[in-house]
C-alpha cells in the first residue's frame, strides 16, 4: 500500500480524544487543527529546497526556500474545509482550490457539484479531506485534476479505510497518502469502523453520529 501512517505520540493522544463521541465541536476543531499541522510536517517532508542568502543581525549566511513552482491546497468540500485553516497557517503562501463532491447514497459514487482551481498546473497539490472511506471522492478528485493538467499530488486525511486506500492506490499509484490512522474496514453503509463519526458534522456542530461517515 502507498500509505504513510504518521506514528507519533502526540497524534495518537489527540486522535483518541478526537474519536470520543463526547468531544464537543469546539474541542473537535481544535484537535483537528493540531493534528493537521502535525500531519503536514510529514506531507511536506520531501519537498525540494534551494539555497538562499539571508542576512542576520550579525552576519550573512545561507538559508533555504522551497524549490517548487507553488503549493496549492485543495479541500474536498465540505469536511476538507476543517483542515484548511491549520494547513494555511503553516504554508500561508499557498494558493487554495476547492472541489465539491457529494456521495450518491445508493451507489456510493461521487458526484461533482463544484470545482475551482488556481492556474498553476505545476504546483504541488495537497488534497485534504478528514476521511478516506470508500476512496471514491479522493480518486475522483485526482482524476478530474489530472484531466485538467495538474501533475503533482499528495493526499492528507485523518482516518483511512483499507478499501479507500486500495482504490486510490489502484487508480493513482504514484500519489502518496498520509493519515493519522488506518482503521479496520467499511461497514455495509460505506462508513469507516471504528472511525470518529461524521467529520463534517462534528466540525460544524451538526448532528453527531455514532457510526462513521464516508468521504464527504
The reported pLDDT for the residue numbered 108 is 65
Residue 165 CA: distances (Å) to CA of 16, 57, 62, 96, 117: 22, 49, 40, 24, 24
Catalytic residue, candidates 56, 62, 107, 210: 107
**Does the active-site annotation cover 201?**
yes
For residue 140, what pLDDT is reported?
A: 93
Confidence of residue 213 (pLDDT cuts 50, 70, 90): very low
Residue 50 bears catalytic tag: no
The pLDDT-based confidence of 92 (bands split at 50, 70, 90) is very high
Q: Which of 198, 212, 215, 216 is catalytic?
A: 198
Distance CA 197, CA 15 (A): 12
Active site residue 17: no
* Sign of the alpha-carbon dihedral angle for 57, 63, 67, 72: negative
pLDDT tens figures, 5-57: 999 999 999 999 999 999 988 999 999 999 999 999 999 999 999 999 999 99
Q: Of residues 19, 78, 103, 202, which has the active-site annotation?
A: 103
| pLDDT given for residue 52 in this prediction | 96
- Tracing cell 473537535 back to the chain, one arrives at 28
Q: Is residue 129 flagged as an active site residue? A: no
The C-alpha atoms of residue 137 and residue 108 are separated, in whole angstroms, by 10
pLDDT in tens, 198-211: 877 787 776 544 44
> Position of cell 472511525?
195
3-class DSSP string for the chain: CCEEECCCHHHHHHHHHHHCCCCCHHHHHHHHHHHHHHHHHHHCCCCCEEEEEEECCCCEEEEEEECCCCEEEEEEECCCHHHHHHHHHHCCCCEECEEEEEECCCCCCEEEEEEECCCCCCCEEEEECCEECCCHHHHHHHHHHHHCCCCEEEEEEEEECHHHHHHHHHHCCCCCEEEEEECCEECCCCCEECCCCCHHHHHHCCCCCCCCCCCC
Domains in the chain: ranges and CATH? 3-46+70-204 (3.40.50.2020)
Residue tagged active-site, from 201, 212, 215, 216? 201
What are the angstrom distances between the C-alpha of 148 and each of 93, 139, 206?
Answer: 23, 14, 34
Amino acid at each position: 500500500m502507498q500509505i504513510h501512517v504518521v506514528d507519533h505520540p502526540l497524534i495518537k493522544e489527540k486522535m483518541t480524544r478526537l474519536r470520543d463521541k463526547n468531544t464537543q465541536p469546539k474541542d473537535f476543531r481544535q484537535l483537528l487543527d493540531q493534528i493537521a499541522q502535525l500531519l503536514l510536517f510529514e506531507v511536506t517532508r520531501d519537498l525540494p529546497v534551494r539555497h538562499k542568502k539571508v542576512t542576520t543581525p550579525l552576519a550573512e549566511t545561507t538559508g533555504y526556500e522551497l524549490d517548487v513552482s507553488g503549493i496549492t491546497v485543495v479541500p474536498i468540500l465540505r469536511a476538507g474545509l476543517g483542515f484548511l485553516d491549520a494547513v494555511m497557517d503553516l504554508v500561508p503562501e499557498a494558493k487554495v482550490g476547492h472541489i465539491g463532491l457529494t456521495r450518491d447514497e445508493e451507489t456510493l459514487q461521487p458526484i461533482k457539484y463544484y470545482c475551482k482551481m488556481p492556474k498553476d498546473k505545476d504546483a504541488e497539490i495537497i488534497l485534504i479531506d478528514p476521511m478516506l472511506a470508500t476512496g471514491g471522492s479522493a480518486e475522483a478528485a485526482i482524476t478530474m485534476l489530472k484531466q485538467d493538467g495538474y501533475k503533482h499530488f499528495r493526499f492528507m486525511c485523518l482516518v483511512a479505510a483499507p478499501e479507500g486506500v486500495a482504490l486510490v492506490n489502484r487508480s493513482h499509484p504514484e500519489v502518496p497518502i498520509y493519515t493519522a490512522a488506518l482503521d479496520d474496514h467499511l461497514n455495509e453503509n460505506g462508513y469507516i469502523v471504528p472511525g470518529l463519526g461524521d467529520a463534517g458534522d462534528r466540525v460544524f456542530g451538526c448532528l453527531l453520529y455514532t457510526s462513521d461517515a464516508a468521504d464527504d
